Amino acid sequence: MQTPLVSIITPFKNTEVYLNECLNSILNQTYTNWELLIIDDHSTDNSFQLVKEFASKDTRIKLFKNNGKGIIAALKLAFKNSSGQLITRMDSDDIMLPNKLEVLANNLIQYGKKHVAVGLVEYFSKHGVGEGYKTYETWLNNLTKTGSNYNEIYKECVIPSPSWMIYREDLIACDAFNPDIYPEDYDLTFRFYKHQFKCIPCNTIIHKWRDYSTRTSRTHIHYAQNHFTALKVHHYLDIDYNKAKTPVIWGAGTKGKLMAKLFLERNIPFEWICDNPNKIGRDIYGKKLLNFNALKNIKNPQSLVTVANKEAQKDIKKYLTSLNLKPIKDYIFFC
């Protein structure tokens, strides 16, 4: 099997307490032809000095200071200084299993360009992993096992930041990291989807994903739900919106209202339905909420479901299926 150079791009900020484990997990990889482009994003702890000591002992570790600010600027700097034919990302607070690079690289080499190698993830935490994260882990891994990640791309990020590998030219083709769009991992996943890069099925756990209360995805404004909804709408309009069809927003909760606002701001005509008797018939933002039975009378509908309740989602999917409607083409679940 070929062993092309793998470039690992890793931003870090104040993760001194986790960096030893992270860096040692990279050093212990069974696939040894790698370089680590690791970028200090203005740390105020001892992280930089710790990485510097590792870099002094292994020339594959290339340490830089972020000349911009934030994760995207750090990712751009890392990629600019990378040389690998294959590119992957690592988070500075996580742990690679020893065969991670080997599994991803071998799969990518086997399937070739215009593919994304992915792998299973496992959450861990010294305080125990919450039910919500375990549910997300199971959902995500079930998609990855069959390579069907894009089937539910509008629900959540289906390719987490530290569990993909791609050919350099494919990453360039989708203009990765250039617009400052957060959450950057979800935005990149949509770019893979738009360019029709196929996900390679994988049954192997390759990455241990650390959860803790001050993790960036828990605390930073860039990862708040309003950013997720805005990002989903942006990519929906770019990729799957069909002007010959009528978007139909399901649900008038927080996400449904935000989606309606975004459509109104862009002057995109839509219909709005819900099953809440207290809201049916009401006027919100100048739009009258209809009963879900009204869907039968809407010409060429494309349902955009923002209802979060899992049991309600099952009923909605059953109803849409009874009308012979197809996923993505006729309906998309946004949560």
Q: What is the chain's pLDDT, residue by residue, as a tens digit (335 residues)? A: 689 999 999 999 999 999 999 999 999 999 999 999 999 999 999 999 999 999 999 999 999 999 999 999 999 999 999 999 999 999 999 999 999 999 999 999 999 999 999 999 999 988 877 888 899 999 999 999 999 999 999 999 999 899 999 999 999 999 998 878 889 999 999 999 999 999 999 999 999 999 876 555 444 444 445 579 999 999 999 999 999 999 999 999 999 999 999 999 999 999 999 988 999 999 999 999 999 889 989 999 999 999 999 899 999 999 999 989 999 999 999 99
What CATH number should be reported for the domain whose range is 6-223? Answer: 3.90.550.10
Check residue 1 and give its pLDDT.
64
Q: Are 35 and 10 in contact (CB under 8 A)?
A: no
In 5-162, which ranges are E strands?
A: 6-12, 34-40, 61-65, 86-89, 95-96, 115-118, 120-124
Check residue 216 and give its pLDDT.
54
Domain with CATH 3.90.550.10 in the chain: 6-223
Q: Are 263 and 271 in contact (CB under 8 A)?
A: no
Check residue 2 and give its pLDDT.
80
> CA-CA distances (angstroms) from residue 235 to 123, 141, 295, 301, 324?
28, 23, 24, 19, 25
Check residue 131 and give its pLDDT.
86
Q: Are 55 and 82 in contact (CB under 8 A)?
A: no
Check residue 15 and give its pLDDT.
96
Q: Please name which of 91, 74, 70 lies closest in space to residue 209, comparing C-alpha atoms.
A: 91
User: How far apart are the C-alpha atoms of 207 and 99, rounded to whole Å?
Assistant: 9
Check residue 223 and give its pLDDT.
41
Residues 6+ apart with CB under 8 A from 314: none
Residues 6+ apart with CB under 8 A from 242: 302
Residues 6+ apart with CB under 8 A from 255: 225, 229, 306, 308, 334, 335
Check residue 56 and give its pLDDT.
98
- Is 3.40.50.170 the CATH classification of the domain at 225-333? no
User: How far apart are the C-alpha atoms of 242 and 301, rounded to whole Å?
Assistant: 10
This prediction has a pTM of 0.92
Check residue 217 and give its pLDDT.
46
Domain with CATH 3.40.50.20 in the chain: 225-333
